[in-house]
Structure 1
Amino acid sequence: MSHWTGVLPAVTTKFTNDDRLDIPEMERCFALQIEAGVHGLIVCGSLGEASTLEPDEKIEVLRTALRVADGKVPVLLTVSQGSTRASCKLAEAGAEAGAAGFMVLPGIPYKSEPHETAVHYRAVARAGGLPVMIYNNPPAYGVDIPPTMLAELADEPLFTAIKESSDDIRRISEIRSLCGDRFKLLTGVDNLALESLAMGADGWVAGLVVAYPRETVAIYELAKAGRMNEAIAIYRWFRPLLDLDVSARLVQNIKLVEALVIGSNDRCRAPRQALQGSERARLTAIVKAAEATRPTLPSF
């Protein structure tokens, strides 16, 4: 079974000028994450523009991450297809390609009823045969997986972790109260991350980590070591950037930060377009202010 804890970046998918997968740039960016000490990689999620990727492209991104990780950290494939059938096929392909497990969404964009959601998750888990992180993000996808449903799903051994992105910090305690330590519990909201860790979350599925991996890992490690004042100082510096994750334009936002900080590019797959005009200027100013005050990280 999985032991997914720590910082797991939800990495971006890189594209060439002619809208193909940019494998060399993804290899470079994924390597920066691993060198900084992250604890896993999650490919082809919402930040990875999953809805625009063909199934074969998702498997190619997965294989790219697996090559870079080289067994040092687990690599999870996100399963976010429109039907249970398509989700099962992707899980089977991901397992064959070597994924350590899956982060699974409800079938989207359909807003399933609770019994439909449970059937979907059980079918995908059994098709892939690997550990599953249940992704709960009702603000984005309109389907809630409340603590009571998680308690009902606890009988399936392949369900091993929860990515909790309901935007309700109380959920951390509620899940622990109902489910104990049955699941590894990870926050998926960048600007609630330290609060979630303080409430007992095991890890952080992070977004801005793709541009600032060392700072993200430092916050996690310091918090887990009980060095909260040091973690808070970094988190307060980071907060204006972390807010960029909580947006309908999180992909464009975070790709621009990557371009400015690690010299990547902010190309997106249409219909998304890179930020322009006043919004690009606003985000650039946020990044410049952060760079001017970037903290020296303590040892941990």
Structure 2
Amino acid sequence: MTTNWSGVFPAVTTQFDASLAIDIDATQGVQDALVKDGVNGLIVMGTCGENNSLDPEEKRTVLKAAVEVVNNRVPVITGVSEFDTRRAIAYAEDAERIGADGLMVLPAMVYVPKPEELTAHFRMIAEATSLPIMLYNNPPAYRVNIGSDVLRALEDVPNIVAVKESAPDPRRFTDLINEFGDRFDIFAGLDDVALEGLMLGAKGWVSGLTSAFPQESVQLVKAAARGDWEGARAIYRWFMPLLHLDAEHDLVQSIKLAEQIMGRGSERVRPPRWPLTGARRAEVTAMVEKAAATRPSLKLKAA
């Protein structure tokens, strides 16, 4: 199985109203705006979409709304982030019926599996659906590493097609490509290692801060794709203070605050998360406002 997945895929936020119920209209508005800004696909209900703060039926409702508003303009990939394999299979099956174009599958939450358990988790989900699957590797966040041994054991599963690599070590991109060639499409998954990943052969970037600055994200990926490393570096250096936020534990609150400042969404999050306050809020606000005042897209328009 092959896909047309490449480019920048923002991990879109789920929007809430004042009562912290899902605001479907606002969520669709965020998704539609990103597509219009030129992104190449959407990741719905990943970490930034607060997957594990949503009830099962809410997840299905959000996915239905995304499929509806995107209307086949770009691929819609939904996060599969559940506490056990049974629930993950049920969601994967429903996602296919709803019309998702693919799945981004995480290890089971909370439990730290042995490699053979992790392999079985992924294999059982893949066997329950015909959708293409991106595995999400993020050892710092989930205490689980999808190592070469796991990927080797899954090589024969045809619909496991991609890996979102969020380990903070850029050597992983070269190691994976050296070992597996083009068997898996590799995506950069940590914002502040994105250009390194693209330079080393990643096909795309699953991004958090794209939700606040999509035009620059699209320009960055396009510059890398055409080999304009000087242009890509200029955007990346401008972007880097914000991209570092993606590696922090409060990344969701920071990204949503950035969206709000840029007029693209609300900072509301569901507990146990709370909106940023105090010195941290002031710090992130200053960073976003500085980036907004110096954004490369403004220079391009002026030229």
TM-score category (smaller protein): over 0.9
Q: Give the aligned partner of residue 200 of structure 1.
A: 201
SS of the residue corresponding to residue 37 of structure 1 reads coil
Question: 2:159 & 2:56 partners in 1: Cα distance?
Answer: 23
SS of the residue corresponding to residue 262 of structure 1 reads coil
Q: Give the aligned partner of residue 166 of structure 1.
A: 167
* Further displaced range: 251-260 or 140-149: 140-149
Cα deviation, residue 262, structure 1: 2.2
Q: Give the aligned partner of residue 19 of structure 1.
A: 20
**Deviations for 1:223-277, whole angstroms, at most 9, x for unmatched residues?**
0100110011011000111111111001111000000012421000112111111
1:182 aligns with 2:160: no
Q: Give the aligned partner of residue 269 of structure 1.
A: 270
Question: 1:45 & 1:128 partners in 2: Cα distance?
Answer: 19
Cα deviation, residue 64, structure 1: 1.3
Question: 1:61 & 1:213 partners in 2: Cα distance?
Answer: 21
Q: Give the aligned partner of residue 76 of structure 2.
A: 75
Which amino acid in 2 is paired with 1:45? Answer: G
Cα-Cα RMSD: 1.2
Q: Give the aligned partner of residue 84 of structure 1.
A: 85
Cα deviation, residue 73, structure 1: 0.5
In the alignment of these two chains, the number of paired residues is 299
Q: Give the aligned partner of residue 234 of structure 1.
A: 235
Question: 1:110 & 1:292 partners in 2: Cα distance?
Answer: 44
* Further displaced range: 290-299 or 79-88: 290-299
CA contact (8 A) 2:188 2:202 kept: yes
In the TM superposition, 1:1-300 aligns within 5 A as 1=1, 2-296=3-297
**TM-score for the superposition, normalised by structure 2:** 0.96
CA contact (8 A) 1:148 1:178 kept: no
**TM-score for the superposition, normalised by structure 1:** 0.97
Which amino acid in 2 is paired with 1:260? Answer: I
Identity rate, percent: 44
SS of the residue corresponding to residue 133 of structure 1 reads strand
* Further displaced range: 112-121 or 46-55: 46-55
**Deviations for 1:50-95, whole angstroms, at most 9, x for unmatched residues?**
1111111111111111112110111011101000001001111111
Which amino acid in 1 is paired with 2:164? Answer: K
Which amino acid in 2 is paired with 1:202? Answer: K
Cα deviation, residue 101, structure 1: 1.2
Question: 2:16 & 2:249 partners in 1: Cα distance?
Answer: 20
Question: 2:137 & 2:264 partners in 1: Cα distance?
Answer: 32
SS of the residue corresponding to residue 269 of structure 1 reads coil
SS of the residue corresponding to residue 102 of structure 1 reads strand
Question: 2:242 & 2:109 partners in 1: Cα distance?
Answer: 28
Cα deviation, residue 149, structure 1: 2.3
Cα deviation, residue 126, structure 1: 1.3
SS of the residue corresponding to residue 200 of structure 1 reads coil
Question: 1:292 & 1:6 partners in 2: Cα distance?
Answer: 26
CA contact (8 A) 1:241 1:287 kept: yes
CA contact (8 A) 1:151 1:178 kept: no
SS of the residue corresponding to residue 77 of structure 2 reads strand
**Deviations for 1:92-146, whole angstroms, at most 9, x for unmatched residues?**
1111101111000011110000000000000011112211001111110011011
**Deviations for 1:160-216, whole angstroms, at most 9, x for unmatched residues?**
110001111111011111110011110100000001100010000000000111100
Cα deviation, residue 152, structure 1: 2.4
